[in-house]
Structure 1
Amino acid sequence: MRRYRRMSREAVVGLPGRSVVYDRERLDVWGAAPGEARPVFVFLHGGYWMALSRHDSAFMARSLNDRGIATVVPDYTLAPEATLEEIVRQVRASIAWIHREGGAFGLDPGRIVVGGSSAGGHLTGMLMVDGWQREFGVPDDVVKAAMPFSGLFDIRPITRTYVNDTIRLDLAGAAALSPLLLPAGRRFPVVLVVAGHDGSGFVEQSRRFQDHWGPAAELMVVPDRDHFDVVLDLAASDTAVSRALIKLIRSV
């Protein structure tokens, strides 16, 4: 956790950046300036929906900036102050903000790619599925591609863990918030990343979601990484994960 914060601070030194309010929460825009139209990577932090923040989540900003790509890192209200339904609503609102307002900050609303780690991978999945876009006034294809890391795509098992002491979901509520169980009609390019030393449950969740998403989904297993450090490979330009993200963004 300390590395996330330290590397994020180091990555944004000297980069153009703005912190703005969306829907009563904040997001940071890094590596873009008015007059540009840069593709956008939106990163959603993990922490089982109840820890971490945008301040721990910008470690990829410099590497992406060097390739002409902006980074947007939203905060969301953490549980138990917010329900998981509200957290999902907030991250969807962040995408709607980028689509409506991002152009004034140098972002290209037509090239939004989303990603996140662990619980952030779950939230990424909730941005990938169909059915929410009309409520927020955005096109069905507002998200063009995605890269979830060690994502939770069927969260029903959470109801049997200590996490549920804070999240407080029943099985029906968990099913309604599980991307694996929700419609995925528009299948855009996705890279599902897991670590070679990830927990077996996380690997199985990504394999199942790959099957659910179909041929547009690629599973990338990163050797010699674990659940917590695999996402830090985005901070360097010469890793397989970073190269895969650049390829994904340039494909949209």
Structure 2
Amino acid sequence: MAHAEPASLVDYMRQTDHTADAVVAYGPAPSQVTELFLPKVRGPHPVVILLHGGCFLQQYEGFAQTSALAADLAGRGYAVWNVEYRKLGEPGAGYPGTFQDVGAAVDRLRAEAPKYHLDLGRVVAIGHSAGGHLALWAASRGRLPADSALHVADPLKIGAVISLAGIGDLAGQGKVFALPCGDDTLDRLLDTAHRKAPYADTSPAELLPTGAKVVMVHGVFDPVMPPYTGRDYVLKVQAAGDKAEVVTIADAAHFDLVIPTTRAWTQIVAILEREMKALSR
């Protein structure tokens, strides 16, 4: 039975935690960990990198709730790399730690791929809200300035990004993000008080083109990141020469996109299937 929509934060937080097939630490901190959910069929498996939201803040769990999505996607034949990262309120979070965590977690897939029969030629990143930003950023790492603390020589290639109510332009849309997440959240995340160009290596809009297909998904009733924010970012991506589109889902708000019993999630799964098929060609 489909969940009644629009869904609330309480609906999102009350989701059942699912047990992963493997847990992989990519660093010493408690939050430097990923969960791997595997299909019951033989590989090689297409890979979904899943990044939770929560305003980059420690107070929102995020990781536990995305396990419901991960279990659902594994049941559909995808290997799901459910990524945790240090959030504001935890030691080492912010710049550069939070971004380095995401990069290290993504690149760790190379070491795990042979053991778990992962197909790294078919990788799609899905992120929600703040995680939508991190998914877009993860796909842009090949464009990072060489002098950036976030730069690595050979970042794992991500073929497509499905951003669920995410923010792609930190400079242009930061005030929209601040309304639900706090006026100082991005300043704390990016260390704007001490950096001359805080968006240069952290905002996906500053790192275009990436070569990754971008799909910005928004619920029509979303007050956190309304559909026009996705539309505006898509125009930037297209102007830079990459493929991009915005999808607006009727009767949905911010959290319908990340509860696997909603009609909105059914539409997102269809988008994922389409983008994975495109990577197989």
Greater Cα shift, 70-79 or 202-211: 202-211
TM-score using structure 2 length = 0.76
Tell me how far 1:2 sits from its aligned partner.
4.9
Q: Give distance in 1, aligned partners of 2:39 and 2:130.
A: 27
Quick check: 1:144 aligned with 2:171? no
Matches within 5 A, 1:22-33: 22-24=26-28, 25-32=32-39
Which position in structure 2 is the counterpart of 1:209?
233
State the number of aligned residues. Answer: 246
Q: Give distance in 2, aligned partners of 1:36 and 1:69.
A: 10
| AA in 1 matched with 2:34 | L
Which position in structure 1 is the counterpart of 2:6?
none
Which position in structure 1 is the counterpart of 2:254?
227
Tell me how far 1:33 sits from its aligned partner.
7.5
Tell me how far 1:164 sits from its aligned partner.
4.6
**Structure 1 consecutive aligned stretches of length 4 or more whose deviation exceeds 4 Å:** 32-35, 132-135, 233-238
Shift of the 152–245 alpha-carbon distance from structure 1 to 2, 3 Å rule, reads same
Task: Select 2:214's aligned residue among 190, 197, 206.
Answer: 190
List runs of 5+ in structure 2 lacking aligned partners: 1-8
Q: Find the residue that maps to 1:251 and give its secondary structure.
A: helix
> Is 1:37–1:107's contact at 8 Å kept on the other side of the alignment?
yes
Q: Give distance in 1, aligned partners of 2:145 and 2:120.
A: 14
TM-score using structure 1 length = 0.83
| AA in 2 matched with 1:230 | L
Which position in structure 2 is the counterpart of 1:163?
185
Q: Give distance in 2, aligned partners of 1:206 and 1:151.
A: 8
Q: Find the residue that maps to 1:172 and give its secondary structure.
A: coil
> Is 1:114–1:147's contact at 8 Å kept on the other side of the alignment?
yes
Q: Give distance in 2, aligned partners of 1:250 and 1:8.
A: 30
Which position in structure 2 is the counterpart of 1:74?
83
Q: Give distance in 2, aligned partners of 1:123 and 1:236.
A: 25
Greater Cα shift, 17-26 or 81-90: 81-90
Tell me how far 1:192 sits from its aligned partner.
0.9
List runs of 5+ in structure 1 lacking aligned partners: none
| AA in 2 matched with 1:111 | R
| AA in 2 matched with 1:180 | A
Q: Give distance in 2, aligned partners of 1:234 and 1:173.
A: 38
Q: Find the residue that maps to 1:225 and give its secondary structure.
A: coil
Matches within 5 A, 1:15-164: 17-24=21-28, 25-32=32-39, 36-50=43-57, 51-81=60-90, 82-129=93-140, 130-132=142-144, 135-138=151-154, 142-156=157-171, 157=174, 161-164=183-186
> Per-residue CA shift, 1:158-188, capped at 9, x if unaligned?
578143575353483145421112232x433
Which position in structure 1 is the counterpart of 2:15?
7
Q: Which has the higher strand share?
A: 1
Tell me how far 1:87 sits from its aligned partner.
0.9
Matched residues, percent identical? 23
Shift of the 238–177 alpha-carbon distance from structure 1 to 2, 3 Å rule, reads closer
Q: Give distance in 2, aligned partners of 1:237 and 1:246.
A: 15
Greater Cα shift, 63-72 or 232-241: 232-241
Shift of the 93–190 alpha-carbon distance from structure 1 to 2, 3 Å rule, reads same
